[in-house]
């Protein structure tokens, strides 16, 4: 019997570092130097004599967001599962981040506040992944880049990826136009990794060379972000991490908000809406939204905090996934990672974490004695498990948005019924809260929530709540 998705996911998400690695190729080329590409390059360095990263942005990621990461100025979250994988491939990176200025965790375990539909829920249970690493995207990406390029066998060149080289039914290299140049250069490779993000042109390159495009699924979320940075001031607020989520429902408008304490003694604060609910760059509009639609600390910071720079907006039309594992024909010598495979509603913080897990899928594949002259189906099958987990979490909530009309997954009504039951119970029950938290932070696969003990506990709590409500109503 093949292993279950939850077991496969657990093996991918392990914190254990590989005991032994073997060099199985001479050269690998990674297209894209963002988190997904950097993580892939680090893993490839265990199995290739040389790894070349081709990155289109010559600017460093130490300050402002790079042009290739248009959402880089927005709130980003590295979920606990991503932190586990980051520490797995770069031992000591969390301590290094803290030494470089990432904010240390507060002594108060309840400092992280999560509001759902206006109700303050239980604080998240400790994940076991060490102190939470909370930073801006440029800070974290710069650190990962430095650690990656510190590996002797990895180097980076700058330019625009221009296509793949095909020889006898397999990919044997990639072309790019060097920064400042006009003519493409071909770089040979035993394996090419597409880490070019949502805008990846891999599907076009495959089709242009007689290969099928991977099937694509989309969910039209129409998400609108607005983010601002503020100087931290204890006289204004003691906020450390705040998450606010109002779900669509009777009398409710779906909205998301977040406050993170980040490096440089700053707060980064986000407000977001969907469809026609579109925050603008106007400071007055941003401030009014913070005061009217979110808990008091949002308004306090917006009204009394010192803003650094202006308000930055971002729009994402849809969540999308490219199902490479469903292709009946694909070339050898090629894999894809990160947003080039799937990108989700960013409010759930799954992007960077998924990228780290894809790197661990690549490690598992390269340690399985693969035949590199055959398609990397073992890799794509494992990546599909990770994508399914993230997609299931994000789309189960997004499909409830009024402007989203599908696609509805099989068994949707039953899944929704149980999900609602479990969610309501988790607001007051620490056991179910911890189990649900491990799934939403991608430490566990969603299938773990279907365990009979979890279902029975949620049912008992739901029944008790209904009886209590009935008794209260019947009381004189």
What is the rounded radius of gyration, in angstroms, for the C-alpha atoms of the chain?
23
Tell me if 160 sits within 8 A of 176, measured CB to CB.
yes
How far apart (Å, rounded) are the C-alpha atoms in residues 388 and 247? 22
Compute the average pLDDT of residues 200-221.
Answer: 96
Query: Distance between CA atoms of 13 and 7, rounded to whole angstroms?
Result: 10
Q: Which of 56-70, 213-227, 236-250, 389-403 has the lowest mean pLDDT?
A: 56-70
Peptide bond into 325 cis (omega under 30): no
**Res. 406: pLDDT tops 90:** no
Q: Name the pLDDT band for 397 (thresholds 50, 70, 90).
A: confident
Mean pLDDT of 73-81: 85
The contacts of residue 322 (CB under 8 Å, 6+ apart) are: 203, 214, 215, 216, 336, 340, 341, 342
Q: What confidence score (pLDDT) does residue 474 get?
A: 46
pLDDT at residue 414 in the model = 84
pLDDT at residue 346 is higher than 70:
yes
Q: Does residue 434 surpass a pLDDT of 80?
A: yes
Q: Is the pLDDT of residue 245 over 60?
A: yes
Provide CB contacts within 8 A for 475, sequence distance 6+.
none
129: left (phi over 0), alpha (psi -120 to 50) or beta: alpha
Percentage of the residues of the chain whose pLDDT score is greater than 90: 71
How far, CA to CA in Å, does 11 sit from each of 44, 324, 342, 352, 385?
A: 19, 21, 21, 19, 11
Alpha carbons within 13 A on the beta-carbon side of 361: 27
Domain ranges across the chain: 5-105+127-217+319-396, 223-316, 412-474
Name the CATH superfamily for 5-105+127-217+319-396.
FAD/NAD(P)-binding domain (3.50.50.60)
Task: Of 282, 206, 295, 201, give the one whose Cα is nearest residue 246.
Answer: 295
> Average pLDDT of the chain?
90
pLDDT the model gives residue 471: 45
pLDDT tens-digit readout, 153-183:
999 999 999 999 999 989 999 999 999 899 9
Q: What is the pLDDT of residue 237?
A: 96
Residue 89 has pLDDT above 80, yes or no: yes
What is the percentage of the chain residues whose pLDDT exceeds 70?
Answer: 93
> Out of 121-125, 224-228, 324-328, which region has the weakest mean confidence (pLDDT)?
121-125
- Residue 187 pLDDT > 80: yes
What is residue 405's predicted lDDT score, i.e. its pLDDT? Answer: 83
| SS3 call for 256 | strand
pLDDT range class, residue 415, cuts 50, 70, 90: confident
Read off the pLDDT band of 343 (50, 70, 90): very high
**Strand ordering across the sheet containing 25-31:** 185-188, 170-178, 154-167, 48-55, 25-31, 191-194, 334-336
Q: What CA–CA distances, in Å, run from 350 to 145, 344, 414?
A: 20, 7, 25
- Residue 105, SS3 per DSSP: coil
Q: What is the pLDDT of residues 284-320, one digit of tens each?
A: 999 999 999 999 999 999 999 999 999 999 999 999 9
In this prediction, residue 410 has a pLDDT band, given cuts at 50, 70 and 90, of confident
Q: Which two tokens stand for residue 282?
A: 């106007």
Higher pLDDT pick, 177 / 472: 177
Q: How far apart are CA 468 and CA 277, in angstroms?
A: 37
Residue 129's H or E segment, with its range, is: none
pLDDT surpassing 80 at residue 108: no
CA angle (127, 132, 138) in 5-degree steps = 135
Distance CA 117, CA 120 (A): 9
Q: Are 156 and 33 in contact (CB under 8 A)?
A: yes
In degrees rounded to 5, what are phi and psi of residue 170? -140, 160
Is domain 223-316 in CATH 3.40.50, yes or no? Answer: no
pLDDT value of residue 473:
44
In this prediction, residues 433-458 reach a mean pLDDT of 92
| Total Cβ atoms within 10 A of residue 106 | 14
In 283-420, the DSSP E strands lie at: 306-316, 319-322, 334-336, 342-343
Predicted TM-score of the model (pTM): 0.93
What is the average per-residue pLDDT within 222-235? 95
Mean pLDDT of 381-394: 95
Choose among 137, 309, 135, 312: nearest CA to 231. Answer: 309
Is residue 472 scored above 50 in pLDDT? Answer: no
Q: Does the pLDDT at position 329 exceed 70?
A: yes
- Asked whether the beta carbons of 156 and 146 are under 8 A apart, the reply is no
Place of tokens 């494992």: 382
The answer to whether residues 44 and 18 touch, using CB atoms and an 8 Å cutoff, is no
Question: Which pLDDT belongs to residue 71?
Answer: 61
Tokens of 175: 């072309």
Model confidence band, residue 248 (pLDDT cutoffs 50, 70, 90): confident
């Amino acid at each position: 019997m093949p292993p279950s998705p939850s077991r496969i996911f657990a093996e991918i998400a392990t914190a254990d570092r590989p005991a032994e690695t073997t060099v199985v190729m001479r050269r690998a080329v990674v297209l894209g130097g963002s988190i997904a590409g950097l993580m892939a390059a680090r893993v490839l360095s265990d199995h290739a004599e040389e790894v070349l990263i081709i990155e289109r942005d010559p600017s460093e990621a130490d300050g402002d967001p790079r042009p290739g990461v248009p959402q880089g100025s927005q709130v980003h979250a590295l979920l606990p599962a991503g932190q586990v994988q980051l520490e797995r491939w770069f031992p000591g990176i969390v301590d290094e981040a803290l030494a470089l200025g990432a904010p240390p965790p507060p002594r108060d375990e309840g400092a992280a506040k999560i509001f759902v539909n206006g109700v303050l829920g239980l604080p998240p249970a400790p994940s076991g992944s060490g102190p939470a690493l909370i930073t801006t995207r440029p800070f974290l990406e710069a650190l990962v880049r430095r650690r990656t390029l510190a590996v002797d066998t990895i180097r980076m060149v700058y330019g625009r990826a221009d296509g793949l080289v095909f020889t006898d039914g397999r990919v044997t290299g990639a072309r790019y136009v060097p920064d400042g140049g006009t003519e493409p250069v071909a770089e040979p490779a035993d394996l090419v990794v597409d880490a070019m993000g949502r805008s990846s042109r891999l599907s076009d390159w495959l089709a242009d060379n007689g290969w099928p495009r991977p099937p694509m699924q989309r969910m039209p979320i129409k998400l609108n972000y607005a983010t601002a940075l503020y100087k931290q001031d204890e006289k204004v607020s003691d906020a450390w991490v705040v998450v606010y989520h109002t779900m669509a429902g009777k009398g409710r408008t779906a909205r998301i908000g977040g406050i993170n304490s980040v490096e440089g003694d700053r707060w980064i604060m986000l407000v977001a809406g969907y469809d026609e609910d579109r925050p603008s760059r106007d400071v007055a509009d941003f401030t009014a939204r913070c005061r009217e639609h979110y808990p008091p600390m949002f308004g306090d910071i917006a009204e009394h905090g010192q803003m650094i720079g202006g308000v930055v907006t971002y729009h994402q039309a849809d969540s999308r996934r490219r199902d490479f594992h469903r292709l009946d024909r694909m070339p050898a010598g090629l894999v894809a990672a990160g947003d080039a495979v799937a990108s989700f509603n960013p409010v759930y913080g799954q992007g960077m974490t998924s990228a780290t897990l894809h790197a661990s899928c690549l490690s598992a594949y390269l340690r399985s004695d693969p035949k590199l002259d055959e398609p990397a189906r073992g890799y794509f099958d494992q990546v599909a498990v990770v994508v399914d987990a993230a997609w299931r979490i994000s789309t189960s909530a997004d499909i409830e948005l009024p402007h989203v009309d599908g696609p509805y997954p099989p068994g949707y009504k039953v899944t929704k019924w149980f999900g609602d039951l479990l969610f309501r119970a988790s607001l007051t029950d620490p056991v179910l809260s911890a189990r649900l938290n491990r799934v939403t932070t991608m430490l566990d696969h969603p299938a773990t929530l279907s365990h009979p003990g979890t279902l029975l506990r949620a049912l008992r709590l739901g029944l008790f709540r209904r009886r209590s409500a009935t008794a209260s109503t019947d009381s004189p």
